[in-house]
């Protein structure tokens, strides 16, 4: 019987990853598929792993060819595919368990030509994060739409997060060119040819990135890679020339912001003798871009464009290095022009050049925007303390500036006492940008269940800037602790509307008050805010719910959650971490419903056996979550003792620990071994702080100064097993709510922070 879905998986030299990729496909809830594995002449053991998988699962079969590249290998897979629908998976990536099902069902319902879904980026050291490239195109569910209606779909560059109707694919005869960046010409052509398409906001695809990160500034100069990027961009712009003006405008703006910037940054690492080749290559792309898109680019980008047109390689190199070192993190300083109101001049030290017009160094007053951050959130003697920074981009904040912060409750502003102090600003300098506001119980009691935000007003000379408080940093701002301000009122800080920092007061919430851990079950004790409650456990990612038996005494309840059935269902929602998350809600007889709030202390409760662990903990918003996954060592405490940094956590087996720092643009790393010990309280990993401060060679000359706000090093704590495999140590949510921990060593600042759920030390 012909399968409904064909999955094409080309592979080359991915022996380390292909097994996990194929396993994520095999776990799909959509089971009616065939997987065509195309061996593109792989020299490693990838084919051995793939063949072994085929012998164990008849839905998988292998096709072999001489090495021709990813595009031709995909074309080969399409020729062997037989299904009604067609999809592609790269062999080092993963697909979510419900991904194929969501996309196929959408197409069955709408009759669209193809459907695409959201994506996540992942690696071992930083966990899972949203893919910024897919954020706009797949912001929401849209059915039977088109790129002419939603121009953000122009930004949809990848072929692999989609399911195509095979008849549509064959009608237009799509083939991938034999270049890198082969996705975009096919993807955009399909968007233009389609009658309608569907977009799914839920993640359907996990896109692997290098352990060192995905920043284009970390990529080494590779002429062949850049040539293919420009060739692909040319093919895409040829398509856009025939499209609607709005599509063409969006596309040219995208290439200006992404692809042209990549070429500009390549001047920072271009080898001697290759500079003119890069000038010609970048110039060919610049020459095709819409002047209107170039005119709307950031002023610094326009300086680079002018240097490129002038062929000034030395300036291009200095501009790229300055940007790579973080010189634009907060924007360079600007100097006011004394006799011209509303005009300022960028002060890029050492970057002025006669080849570039002085006009490009001017910045308009509207570019001097308010920048805020939340650095620390904690409770002190029943009061909520919020520390952060407020500054105007490009300008130094002086003593004479004034800062006002109001707590806005139901539209009414309540002025707060603001304590100002010196802190590190966007430029790495120490200036009067730090602030602290403290909310007492009387003011917190005025808050409502709707988000209450902070209004920030900063005055510097004649400049006045105003915005909501934003920019929650990693640590307690991302996992802010809540607290009781009265027997029935709980206050929970956290993210509010449009990413601003907010406070909510929950009156008599449904809550978990304590947990008992028995060998067979987790026993939950709590209180409902309504009579005759029923307890339900849901899976937010995959959907569905199950009722949990409870014993009710008035509004108090006790629930028994057997551990065995949870651990037996090894069918994870997250294909990378292999973790499934469950949430809890109480429902009343009249249909009233509330999520279950965590008020059960400041420690998670875990049960581990046979290589898996169940953990009851809290979410970022303060609600109860249950996680089930393979064992991943987690830190529950981090302390600094003298010159030692000590991390601690529950003992789930014999491992060693090491702090690793990944080298830019690679998966290679240097590491510092930690001294470990085990006790009844769990494991501890001890390292000298000085060992985490990299030695900088003073003989290395840089063309421009390194931005002081940039990290000198980013270390991640790894648990290393006996077989040599390793995983990043997780940062337990309650530890996140107590971080960052900042200490000084060897003249540097070391900040312990969580990043995407893993434990990091940033050295500045």
pLDDT, tens digit, 9 for 90 and up, residues 523-534: 999 999 999 999
Q: How far is CA 270 from the centre of its chain?
A: 29
DSSP 183-221: HHHHHHHHHHH-S-EEEEEEEEEEEE--TT---GGGSPP
- Quick check: is 200 in a domain? yes
Same domain for 57 and 177, yes or no, is yes
Q: Which of 57-61, 209-213, 580-584 has the lowest mean pLDDT?
A: 209-213
User: What is the enclosing helix (H) or strand (E) of 713?
Assistant: strand 713-720
Same domain for 438 and 538, yes or no, is no
Q: Which residue has the higher pLDDT, 695 or 242?
A: 242
Domain boundary residue, one of 446, 472, 503? 503
Under the banding of pLDDT at 50, 70 and 90, the label for residue 450 is: confident
- Residues 596-625: tens digit of each pLDDT: 999 999 999 999 988 899 999 999 999 999
Domain boundary residue, one of 485, 503, 521? 503
* Portion of the chain with pLDDT greater than 90, in percent: 73
Looking only at the bridges linking them, the beta strands covering 362-364 and 343-347 are antiparallel
In whole angstroms, give the CA distance from residue 534 to residue 555: 11
Q: Residue 422's CB: how many other CB atoms inside 10 A? A: 12
Say yes or no to pLDDT of 713 above 90.
no
At residue 700, the pLDDT reads 37
Say yes or no to pLDDT of 220 above 60.
no
At residue 441, the pLDDT reads 95
Say yes or no to pLDDT of 216 above 50.
no
Q: Under a CB-based contact definition with an 8 Å cutoff, are residues 161 and 117 in contact?
A: yes
- Quick check: is 451 in a domain? yes
Q: What mean pLDDT value characterizes the chain?
A: 89
- Quick check: is 346 in a domain? no
Q: Residue 388's CB: how many other CB atoms inside 10 A? A: 26
Q: Residue range 242-262: average pLDDT?
A: 95
- Residues 81-139: tens digit of each pLDDT: 999 999 999 999 999 999 999 999 999 999 999 999 999 999 888 788 899 899 999 99
Looking only at the bridges linking them, the beta strands covering 730-731 and 634-635 are parallel
Same domain for 585 and 559, yes or no, is yes
- Residues 454-510: tens digit of each pLDDT: 999 999 888 899 999 999 999 999 999 999 999 999 999 998 888 899 999 999 999
pTM over 0.75: yes
Say yes or no to pLDDT of 444 above 70.
yes
Same domain for 234 and 293, yes or no, is yes
3-state secondary structure 580-619: EEEEEEEECCCCCEEECEECCCCCCEEEEECCEEEEEEEC
Say how many Å lie between the first and final Cα of the chain, rounded: 61
At residue 340, the pLDDT reads 44
Domain boundary residue, one of 208, 229, 257? 208
**20 three-state secondary structure:** helix
User: What is the enclosing helix (H) or strand (E) of 463?
Assistant: strand 463-468
At residue 694, the pLDDT reads 76
**Nearest residue to 742 via CA among 762, 722, 719, 720:** 762
Q: Under a CB-based contact definition with an 8 Å cutoff, are residues 29 and 2 in contact?
A: no
- Quick check: is 363 in a domain? no
- Quick check: is 345 in a domain? no
Q: Residue range 12-30: average pLDDT?
A: 94
The Cα-based distances of 342 to 334, 347, 363 in angstroms read 12, 16, 9
Say yes or no to pLDDT of 184 above 60.
yes
CA quadruple 244, 245, 246, 248: dihedral sign = positive
> Alpha helices, DSSP H only, in 81-142?
99-110, 132-135
Q: Which residue has the tokens 């990838």?
A: 46
Instruction: Give the contacts of 79 (CB within 8 A, at least 6 positions apart).
Output: none
Say yes or no to pLDDT of 350 above 70.
no
Q: Residue range 676-699: average pLDDT?
A: 81
Range of the domain at 241: 216-324
Under the banding of pLDDT at 50, 70 and 90, the label for residue 698 is: very low
Cα dihedral angle (293, 298, 303, 308), rounded to 10 degrees? -40
- Quick check: is 355 in a domain? no
**Nearest residue to 740 via CA among 715, 762, 756:** 762
Same domain for 129 and 17, yes or no, is yes
Under the banding of pLDDT at 50, 70 and 90, the label for residue 712 is: confident
Same domain for 296 and 385, yes or no, is no
Name the token pair of 97. 């368990």
Same domain for 409 and 455, yes or no, is yes
In whole angstroms, give the CA distance from residue 39 to residue 47: 6
Same domain for 238 and 196, yes or no, is no
Tell me, what CATH number does 62's domain have?
3.90.550.10
In whole angstroms, give the CA distance from residue 261 to residue 360: 17
Tell me, what CATH number does 441's domain have?
2.60.40.10
In whole angstroms, give the CA distance from residue 757 to residue 454: 27
- Quick check: is 357 in a domain? no
Instruction: Give the contacts of 398 (CB within 8 A, at least 6 positions apart).
Output: 431, 432, 460
Question: What φ, ψ does residue 314 adopt, rounded to 5°?
Answer: -65, -45
In whole angstroms, give the CA distance from residue 405 to residue 443: 14
Same domain for 517 and 489, yes or no, is no
Q: Residue range 66-75: average pLDDT?
A: 95
Same domain for 147 and 34, yes or no, is yes
Q: Exposed, middle or buried, 700 (CB in 10 Å: 0-12/13-18/19+)? A: exposed
Under the banding of pLDDT at 50, 70 and 90, the label for residue 695 is: low
At residue 348, the pLDDT reads 52
Instruction: Give the contacts of 343 (CB within 8 A, at least 6 positions apart).
Output: 336, 337, 362, 364, 365
- Quick check: is 81 in a domain? yes
In whole angstroms, give the CA distance from residue 600 to residue 623: 11
Q: Under a CB-based contact definition with an 8 Å cutoff, are residues 46 and 12 in contact?
A: yes
At residue 723, the pLDDT reads 87
Under the banding of pLDDT at 50, 70 and 90, the label for residue 354 is: low
User: What is the enclosing helix (H) or strand (E) of 49?
Assistant: helix 46-56
At residue 461, the pLDDT reads 85
Under the banding of pLDDT at 50, 70 and 90, the label for residue 394 is: confident
Tell me, what CATH number does 536's domain have?
2.60.40
Say yes or no to pLDDT of 62 above 60.
yes
Say yes or no to pLDDT of 22 above 50.
yes
Q: Residue range 166-176: average pLDDT?
A: 97
In whole angstroms, give the CA distance from residue 634 to residue 649: 6
At residue 364, the pLDDT reads 67
Greatest CA separation for the chain: 81
At residue 342, the pLDDT reads 47
In whole angstroms, give the CA distance from residue 346 to residue 301: 13
At residue 679, the pLDDT reads 85
**293 three-state secondary structure:** helix
**Nearest residue to 327 via CA among 424, 395, 427:** 427
At residue 375, the pLDDT reads 95
Report DSSP state, residue 729: P
- Residues 550-567: tens digit of each pLDDT: 999 999 999 999 998 888
Q: Under a CB-based contact definition with an 8 Å cutoff, are residues 8 and 81 in contact?
A: yes
Q: Which residue has the tokens 């303390």?
A: 385
- Residues 739-758: tens digit of each pLDDT: 999 998 888 889 999 988 89
**444 three-state secondary structure:** helix
- Residues 506-527: tens digit of each pLDDT: 999 999 999 999 989 999 999 9
Q: Which of 176-185, 280-289, 382-391, 695-704 has the lowest mean pLDDT?
A: 695-704
Say yes or no to pLDDT of 338 above 60.
no
In whole angstroms, give the CA distance from residue 104 to residue 68: 30
Q: Under a CB-based contact definition with an 8 Å cutoff, are residues 655 and 629 in contact?
A: no
Q: Under a CB-based contact definition with an 8 Å cutoff, are residues 596 and 584 in contact?
A: yes
Q: How far is CA 340 from the centre of its chain?
A: 42
Report DSSP state, residue 706: P
User: What is the enclosing helix (H) or strand (E) of 170?
Assistant: helix 166-172
Same domain for 198 and 316, yes or no, is no
**Nearest residue to 640 via CA among 760, 741, 748, 733:** 741
Number of separate domains in the chain: 5
Q: Which residue has the higher pLDDT, 576 or 347?
A: 576
Say yes or no to pLDDT of 51 above 70.
yes
Q: Residue range 421-431: average pLDDT?
A: 86
Cis peptide preceding 714, ω within 30 of 0: no
In whole angstroms, give the CA distance from residue 198 to residue 163: 10
**Nearest residue to 131 via CA among 201, 226, 211, 221:** 201
Same domain for 308 and 389, yes or no, is no
Under the banding of pLDDT at 50, 70 and 90, the label for residue 708 is: very low
Q: Under a CB-based contact definition with an 8 Å cutoff, are residues 679 and 690 in contact?
A: no
Under the banding of pLDDT at 50, 70 and 90, the label for residue 653 is: confident
């Amino acid at each position: 019987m012909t399968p409904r879905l064909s999955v094409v998986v080309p592979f080359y030299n991915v022996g380390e990853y292909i097994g996990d990729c194929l396993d994520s496909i095999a776990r799909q809830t959509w089971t009616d598929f065939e997987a065509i594995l195309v061996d593109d002449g792989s020299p490693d053991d990838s084919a051995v792993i793939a063949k072994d998988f085929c012998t164990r699962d008849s839905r998988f079969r292998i096709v072999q060819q001489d090495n021709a590249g990813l595009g031709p290998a995909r074309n080969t897979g399409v020729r062997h595919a037989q299904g009604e629908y067609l999809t592609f998976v790269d062999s080092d990536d993963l697909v979510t368990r419900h991904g194929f099902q969501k996309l196929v069902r959408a197409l069955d319902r709408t009759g669209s030509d193809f459907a695409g879904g959201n994506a996540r980026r992942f690696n071992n050291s930083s966990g899972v994060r949203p893919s910024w490239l897919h954020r706009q195109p797949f912001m929401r569910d849209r059915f039977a739409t088109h790129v002419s209606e939603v121009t953000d779909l122009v930004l949809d560059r990848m072929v692999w997060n989609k399911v195509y109707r095979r008849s549509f694919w064959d009608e237009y005869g799509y083939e991938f060119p034999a270049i890198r960046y082969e996705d975009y010409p096919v993807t955009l052509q399909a968007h233009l040819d389609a009658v309608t398409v569907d977009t799914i906001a839920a993640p359907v695809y996990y896109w692997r990135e290098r352990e060192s990160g995905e920043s284009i500034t970390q990529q080494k100069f590779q002429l062949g890679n850049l040539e293919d990027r420009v060739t692909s961009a040319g093919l895409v712009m040829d398509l856009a020339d025939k499209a609607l003006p709005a599509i063409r405008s969006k596309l040219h703006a995208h290439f200006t912001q992404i692809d042209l910037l990549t070429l500009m940054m390549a001047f920072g690492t271009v080898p001697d003798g290759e500079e003119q080749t890069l000038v010609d290559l970048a110039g060919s792309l610049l020459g095709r871009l819409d002047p209107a898109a170039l005119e709307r680019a950031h002023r610094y980008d326009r300086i680079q464009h002018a240097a490129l047109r002038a062929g000034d390689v030395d300036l291009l190199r200095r501009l790229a290095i300055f940007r790579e070192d973080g010189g634009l993190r907060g924007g360079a300083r600007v100097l006011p022009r004394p006799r011209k109101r509303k005009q300022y001049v960028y002060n890029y030290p050492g970057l002025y050049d006669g080849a570039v017009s002085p006009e490009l160094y001017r910045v308009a007053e509207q570019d001097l925007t308010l920048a805020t951050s939340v650095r620390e959130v904690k409770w002190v003697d029943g009061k909520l303390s919020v520390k952060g920074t407020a500054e105007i981009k490009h300008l130094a904040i002086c003593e004479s500036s004034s800062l006002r912060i109001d707590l806005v409750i139901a539209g009414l502003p309540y002025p707060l006492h603001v304590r100002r102090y010196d802190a590190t600003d966007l430029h790495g300098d120490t200036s009067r940008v730090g602030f602290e506001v403290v909310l007492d119980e009387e003011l917190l009691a005025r808050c409502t269940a709707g988000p209450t935000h902070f209004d920030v007003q900063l005055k510097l000379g004649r400049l006045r800037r105003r915005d909501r408080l934003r920019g929650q940093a990693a640590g307690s701002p991302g996992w802010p602790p809540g607290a009781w301000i009265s027997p029935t009122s709980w206050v929970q800080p956290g993210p509010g509307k449009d990413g601003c920092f907010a406070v909510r007061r929950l009156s008599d919430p449904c809550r978990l008050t304590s947990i008992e851990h028995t060998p067979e079950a987790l026993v939950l004790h709590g209180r409902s805010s309504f009579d005759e409650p029923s307890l339900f456990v849901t899976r937010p990612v995959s959907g569905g719910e199950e009722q949990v038996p409870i014993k009710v005494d008035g509004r108090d309840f006790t629930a028994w959650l057997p551990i065995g059935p949870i651990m037996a269902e090894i069918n994870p929602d997250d294909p990378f971490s292999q973790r499934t998350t469950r949430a809890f809600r109480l429902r009343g007889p009249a249909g009233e419903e509330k999520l279950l709030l965590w008020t059960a202390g400041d420690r998670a409760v875990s049960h581990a056996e046979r290589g898996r662990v169940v953990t009851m903990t809290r979410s970022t918003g303060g609600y109860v979550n249950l996680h089930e996954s393979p064992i991943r060592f987690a830190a529950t405490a981090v302390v600094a003792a003298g010159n030692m940094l000590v991390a601690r956590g529950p003992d789930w087996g014999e491992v060693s620990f090491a702090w690793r720092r990944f080298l830019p643009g690679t998966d290679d790393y240097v590491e510092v071994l930690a001294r470990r010990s085990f006790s009844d309280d769990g494991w501890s990993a001890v390292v000298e702080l000085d060992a985490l401060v990299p030695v900088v060679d003073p003989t290395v000359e840089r063309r421009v100064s390194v931005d002081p706000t940039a990290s000198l090093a980013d270390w991640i704590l790894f648990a290393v097993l006996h077989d040599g495999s390793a995983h990043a140590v997780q940062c337990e949510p309650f530890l996140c709510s107590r971080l960052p921990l900042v200490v000084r060593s060897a003249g540097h600042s070391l900040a312990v922070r969580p990043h995407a759920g893993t434990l990091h030390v940033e050295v500045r």
